[in-house]
Structure 1
């Protein structure tokens, strides 16, 4: 019996490869891992599917609120629909599936109305007031035949988005819009006959982030920028006249979080306030095609987020501030057609722009312009204030770093030298760390070697 068992064992071992136990162990471990991962995935997947079907079943029967439907039908009757974009607005259909209408699926109330560029005309009905949950209203790109902006819009307190741009609305911008304290986006641009008698109502727009009054007539209001004491993401005003110098702006407090300022093609005069450099979040600055004079603010380079600067076609003079070389994110720069002089500061960024961005400045020289700087022009640019300040800050930083390192190093060495207990503890700790690293490294190398031998068999 023993002989038979031995013969059977020899035949079995001969039939199996020598590294068979390694593969068996690895296969078992892999199968266990897959099993655990499957269980981990199965539980949340089952819960998610159950929740989804429960929610789908609970909201599938929610239809349009009847009061909202009738309000929209009244609005439709006051509008002229040349393109029949409102053909789906029927009393026999659920208003939540009408074109341009979006509802809250939980309660069936209309929350968004998007009818932009639909060639609509006629009258904007006051029935919109019945849409108590409406927060988004876009009627831009239509033609309301120079009718005034309805004053009742100022009573739609849930609005966060109101767009009447390019809608051919005219007349006085109603003060009642200042009641919309939740409004984040207001666009009334490209309506050539809009005007204001004052802008004090804007102080009520405490949540505004995007304001577009392009082409509106604001020249009556001379203190308009002081009134806007809120934070905006984007600020577009064009074709306006500002008041006298001294009443223009308090940038730091009123517009500190603005990302975009476009004041191009105005009758702006005076100098660019130095306080504009406090707009640390500004990314796009366009003051082109005005009558601005004086120098470019010396600290404009501190506006690190700037991506686009257009100061072209003004009457700016003096040198280009050396700090502009710090604007590493700058992808567009246009300083053409001013009275700038001196050498263009050297930096990878400023020299990367085409010479057309600097033309129209006869006294400007240096790369990328074909005009080379004379010795006199180079000497004028040799020690600019901004460069001296930057060099001073850099030197102070390295001196402080060197002093700090030396102080810390000798403090530690002195403590170890004069205190025997600390010295012994330090060297004991160093020995333990060295031993731990050595042992850990050898264990890992042995494991890798065993695995390599196992796979090669």
Structure 2
């Protein structure tokens, strides 16, 4: 009985310490001021950030902000603009624009930053983002950023999700965005992001990056890789050996020619493969049968000929 009473006393004490005695009083003041300065440089035609006011002290309750329940530190900033007001008439919602204030550097515990589907047209990806070393998730897609993607993004070694392009899923929501005007001179910086599971560079001009496959082949944890509309002309003759977890591969709307690369047969974890809108001009290879987990295969708008038994089709895939 004495042991039970001792355990009860300790449990009660811990409950008081963690609940009644908690020092949490809302978000951290320096972080509240940081997001208010960030808001000042934004153009917000839809008033999405109406809750962000100096009169409302706890920024953890503001739209798009998610905090640690115990410490009050801002962990996530989700400011993606929902693309449609009405699916029926495809009415587009006005998007956030303006500038990205470096006050975000004061959010030292930030793990996730999503600014996708906004309109920062005419500016480059801010280099200060490269110093936000705690980021696990960074989505800047469909924003009309321009210029060279800063190599310093390779400093974000904790990243697991990176999306920088035009937004390859826009068709799934029924809204077409303009292609990105981002480009790279080389992709060597990507090799430092060894924890990446999701990489989307759709619409980024990779025509000057002849080492694109060699670099991406150094990312063994990739599950999703999207490189559509990237102006890629050449598929290097490189064994694809490190993609044992890859489930989604989108290489659509590039300039690949000749036969479908033989190395793709090694991607046995693939569930989704899109090679459409290229210039492949061979017979459909029999090794597609080896991709036993494949659920969706897109080969349209090529010059392919043959029988595709895994989908029960016999067809000639011509370019439109």
Q: TM-score, normalised by structure 2?
A: 0.80
Gaps of 5+ in 1: 1-46, 326-332, 334-349, 351-356, 363-457
Report the alpha carbon displacement of residue 55 of structure 1 after superposing the two structures with TM: 4.4
Correspondence for 2:225 among 231, 235, 240: 235
SS of equivalent to 1:261: strand
Q: Tell me the C-alpha RMSD between the 2 structures.
A: 2.5
For residue 158 of structure 2, what is the aligned residue in structure 1? Answer: 182
Correspondence for 2:191 among 203, 209, 221: 203
- Between Structure 1 and Structure 2, the one with more helix by share is 1
Report the alpha carbon displacement of residue 62 of structure 1 after superposing the two structures with TM: 3.2
After superposition, the C-alpha distances for 1:281-300 in whole angstroms (9 at most, x for unaligned) are: 11001101211122333322
For residue 246 of structure 2, what is the aligned residue in structure 1? Answer: 258
Matched, 1:132 2:145: no
- Partners of 2:301 and 2:317 within 8 A in 1: no
For residue 155 of structure 1, what is the aligned residue in structure 2? Answer: 131
After superposition, the C-alpha distances for 1:148-191 in whole angstroms (9 at most, x for unaligned) are: 10011111111111111111211111111111111111111214
Matched, 1:308 2:276: no
For residue 62 of structure 2, what is the aligned residue in structure 1? Answer: 98
For residue 36 of structure 2, what is the aligned residue in structure 1? Answer: 73
- Partners of 1:226 and 1:250 within 8 A in 2: no
- Partners of 2:77 and 2:112 within 8 A in 1: yes
- Partners of 2:161 and 2:196 within 8 A in 1: yes
**Higher relative contact order, chain-length normalized (CA < 8 Å, sep 6+):** 2
Matched, 1:168 2:144: yes
- Aligned residue runs from structure 1 range 47-58, under 5 A: 55-58=18-21
After superposition, the C-alpha distances for 1:228-271 in whole angstroms (9 at most, x for unaligned) are: 111311111112233545x2543223x23210111112111122
Q: Give the length in aligned residue pairs.
A: 282
Report the alpha carbon displacement of residue 208 of structure 1 after superposing the two structures with TM: 0.7
SS of equivalent to 2:281: strand
For residue 268 of structure 2, what is the aligned residue in structure 1? Answer: 280
- Partners of 1:271 and 1:295 within 8 A in 2: yes
- Partners of 1:225 and 1:250 within 8 A in 2: no
Gaps of 5+ in 2: 1-9, 82-93, 167-178
Q: Which has the larger radius of gyration?
A: 1
Report the alpha carbon displacement of residue 313 of structure 1 after superposing the two structures with TM: 2.4
- Partners of 2:303 and 2:316 within 8 A in 1: no
- Partners of 1:161 and 1:184 within 8 A in 2: yes
- Between Structure 1 and Structure 2, the one with more strand by share is 2
Distance, in Å, in 2 between the alignment partners of 1:237 and 1:103 is 33
- Partners of 1:262 and 1:287 within 8 A in 2: yes
Distance, in Å, in 2 between the alignment partners of 1:194 and 1:139 is 16
- Partners of 1:269 and 1:293 within 8 A in 2: yes
For residue 215 of structure 1, what is the aligned residue in structure 2? Answer: 203
Q: TM-score, normalised by structure 1?
A: 0.57
Distance, in Å, in 2 between the alignment partners of 1:361 and 1:88 is 52
SS of equivalent to 1:72: helix
Distance, in Å, in 2 between the alignment partners of 1:218 and 1:212 is 12
